[in-house]
Amino acid sequence: MLRDKEYDNLLQFIERIQQESPDRDKFRINVLTHITEFFEECGIVTFMLSDNKSQINVADFVALNCQDTIQQMYIEHYHKLDIFHTLNISRALLNRSVITLRDVMPYKEYENTEYYNEFMKQSGNYYQAILPLNIDNKFVGLIGISRPKDKGEFTKRELLILDKMNPFISYSLKIYLDNFKINYENLILKNCSSQMPIGLVVLNSKFSILYNNEAAQEFCSEIVGSIKSNPILQAVKILSSKICSPGQGADSNTSIILANYSLKMVPFIVPSESNIVEAVYALYITPNYTGKIKSYDKTSQYFSLSSREIEIVKLIEQGFSNQEIASSLFISIHTVKTHTENIFKKMNVGSRTALLYKIRDVI
């Protein structure tokens, strides 16, 4: 059993490793740093994650007390000889909470291995304790702790401490990986939706805005004729008043036309934080201009628009957002906004919709 002070130290360790880290390297360094506090002297300490095939991802690991040259040697060659590498160790051992050299082979046999003589000995290390990290019976990572031969092998008490640490490290890793996945998926959604030629707004069951892309901001400004207050919120209020019964949400896919835009709301069900399902709505906003403008020559002459401004007018007529226009013309979004402001001034309009109607009047 652990002593009272050791339990107190373990509780402090659990609290420290659960502190939020901005990236996985800092998360792992944080864990390794606090592990070393339990031992008088450690050699190289490593934290590696698994790949999609439950094998160690050699190129993705962090280490303490390890020179860059030693780390590079391991990545380039010696990981293949590592007796604790997932390629060289049984799944039964990886299911344990702690593994030592004695669990793998006798010391005499270890001392005759190429891995020891050409790598571990060169780095000044001998004994090793390994913590395989498993989440829901799936191997996800491995922590290795080494020490010089003259410091002696790991004691039963030290191994007991590592045994108690393992489930808390695995749990913290699971939380971190789950949060990383969420942030990764959100980043994908943000980048993809920013390039969409339609507006996207995600609403919760109370019609509060959870997410919107830039196109939705621009289109809603056109719909409500205002950019000073929140145009998306105003457009949502108009929409909800038309498609929802008092005190209720939209029960099925609903489409309406507002200010020459098609607004389609699609409900779907997701689990909430309390594991109770709730409705979430995706609002798609699409320009609904009818009829293409065949010639812009007269427009260019009538309003004294430059060739670049006419290019932008054509893309506006196709429903492109500012970001889409910038990408299409290989210019900055700031330049697009400047051109658009100049076009509005020359044509004496305040919105994209007004611009397109005025062009048709000229045509």
Of 317, 322, 326, nearest to 355 (Cα)? 317
Q: Which helix (H) or strand (E) is 280 found in, with range?
A: strand 277-287
User: Which one-letter DSSP state was computed for residue 118?
Assistant: I
Domain, as residue range, for 318: 297-362
On whether both 280 and 316 belong to a single domain, the answer is: no
Q: Quick one: 175 and 52 in the same domain?
A: yes
Residue 173 Cα distances to 8, 13, 141, angstroms: 22, 14, 9
Residues 164, 197 share a domain: no
Nearest to 206 by CA among 137, 277, 131, 281: 281
* Same structural domain, 111 and 221: no
According to DSSP, residue 87 is labeled T
Indicate which CATH number applies to the domain containing 235.
Answer: 3.30.450
Same domain, 171 and 197: no
**CATH code of residue 76:** 3.30.450.80
Query: Across 115-253, where does the E strand assignment appear?
Result: 127-135, 138-147, 199-203, 209-212
Of 131, 163, 184, the residue that ends a domain is 184
The count of other CB atoms within 10 Å of the CB of residue 264 is: 15
Model pTM score: 0.65
Q: Tell me whether residue 254 is in a domain.
A: yes
User: Is 33 domain-assigned?
Assistant: yes
Identify whether 115 is part of a domain. Answer: yes
Same domain (yes/no): 162, 13: yes
Query: Do 111 and 82 reside in the same domain of the chain?
Result: yes
Q: In what order do the strands lie in the sheet with 254-258?
A: 209-212, 199-203, 277-287, 261-271, 254-258
pLDDT at 247: 47
DSSP-derived secondary structure letter, 78: G
274 in the same domain as 346: no
| Rounded Cα gap, residues 51 and 60, in angstroms | 9
Are 283 and 302 found together in one domain? no
Q: Return the CATH number at 306.
A: 1.10.10.10
292 in any annotated domain? no
Domain annotation covers residue 144: yes
| Domain stops at, among 263, 287, 311 | 287
CA 339 – CA 344 distance, rounded (Å): 9
287, 305, 331 — which closes off a domain?
Answer: 287
The ranges of the chain with pLDDT < 50 are: 246-247, 291-293
CA distance 89 to 142: 12
Q: How far is CA 5 from the centre of its chain?
A: 39
Answer whether residue 340 is part of any domain. yes
Which residues, at least 6 apart from 77, have a Cβ–Cβ distance to it below 8 Å?
Answer: none
Same domain, 64 and 151: yes
Going by the DSSP 8-state scheme, the letter that residue 119 receives in this structure is: I
Q: Indicate whether 170 and 121 sit together in one domain.
A: yes
Please count the other Cβ atoms lying within 10 Å of the Cβ belonging to residue 76.
10
How many CB atoms within 10 Å of residue 251?
A: 11
Is position 244 within any domain? Answer: yes
State how far the alpha carbon of 214 is from the alpha carbons of 61, 349, 358, in Å.
38, 21, 25
Count of domains in the chain? 3
Neighbours of 70 (CB within 10 A): 19
Q: What are phi and psi of 290, to 5 degrees?
A: -110, 135
Verify that 96 and 10 share a domain, yes or no: yes
Other C-beta atoms closer than 10 Å to the C-beta of 246 total 5
